[in-house]
Amino acid sequence: MSSDLSVLGISGSLRRASLNSGLLRAAAELHPPSTEYATFELADIPLFNSDLESNGPPKAVVALQETIKHSDGLLLAVPEYNYSISGVLKNALDWASRGDPSVLDGKPLAIMGAGGRYGTVRAQLHMRQIALHNSMRVMIDPDLHLPRARSLFDNDGNLTDAKTRDKLRAFMVAFTEWITHSRTDPTLKYR
């Protein structure tokens, strides 16, 4: 149906059995049926270098930018490396933030993360500041932090814990509501 919302999920980890990529796969199963859902893999994104833009950005970057542009909301699964988001994810966002307006400008965003002693709390704080630069509309509640998450997933990184699956289901419903709400924000014009 043309009025369906589309959510684009991106994981900050390239590791095959990544818990954060597993969270995104679970989101693919648990999002509301009225929402379209797709993911984008960052493995082919080159390191950011604005010199590469002179003849148009690299092909994988164009694909990333177009895919974000045509999605209604961005869902980021952020592993915490060194108290911040992964360089892999930051690098992709550096590319995506190019242009005026960029494809990130004013985009509805939900942030979630698994792992670490404190469930990626520090990485998520950094991510919110990064999103602020792009005037992204970051969902406030509910949040999704999964500390010491190893036991919530099987060995292939699939989310198996029933309670966490319920949380994620509610998170995806809320995000759909947030996207719909954010699209009517009259202050988007002040960007």
CB of 155 to a copy of itself, least distance (A): 14
Site string for a copy of itself, 132-151 (x = CB under 8 A): xxxx-x-xxxx---------
- Residue 186 is a binding residue for a copy of itself (CB under 8 A): yes
Least distance in Å: CB of 183 to a copy of itself?
11
Amino acid at 18: S
Phi and psi, residue 5, nearest 5°: -90, 145
Question: Which window, 30-38, 60-68, 83-91, 154-162, contacts a copy of itself (CB under 8 A)?
Answer: 83-91
Distances (CA, A) of 166 to 29, 52, 118, 184: 12, 44, 20, 28
CA 6, distance to chain mean position in Å, is 13
Interface with a copy of itself (CB under 8 A), residue from 3, 55, 82, 155 = 82
Other Cβ atoms less than 10 A from the Cβ of 121: the count is 15
The residue among 37 and 171 lying less far from a copy of itself, judged by its C-beta, is 171
Residue ranges of alpha helices (H) inside the chain are 19-30, 59-69, 87-96, 121-133, 162-182
Mention every residue, 6+ apart, whose C-beta is less than 8 A from residue 60.
Answer: 44, 45, 46
Count of positions on this chain that bind a copy of itself (CB under 8 A) = 59
Q: How far is the CB of 47 from a copy of itself (least distance, A)?
A: 5
Q: Does residue 34 touch a copy of itself according to CB under 8 A?
A: no
Please check whether residue 32 is in contact with residue 64, taking contact to mean a CB–CB distance below 8 angstroms.
Answer: no
Please report, as residue ranges, which positions from 95 to 114 form the binding site for a copy of itself (by CB under 8 A). 97
- DSSP code string of 22-34: HHHHHHHHHS-TT
Distance of CA 77 to the CA centre of its chain: 5
Report the site for a copy of itself in 55-74 (rule: CB under 8 A).
none
Residue (142 or 161) nearer to a copy of itself, CB: 142
Q: For binding to a copy of itself (CB under 8 A), which residues are involved? A: 13-16, 42-43, 45, 47-51, 81-94, 97, 117-119, 121-122, 125-126, 128-130, 132-135, 137, 139-142, 170, 174, 177-178, 180-181, 184-188, 190-191
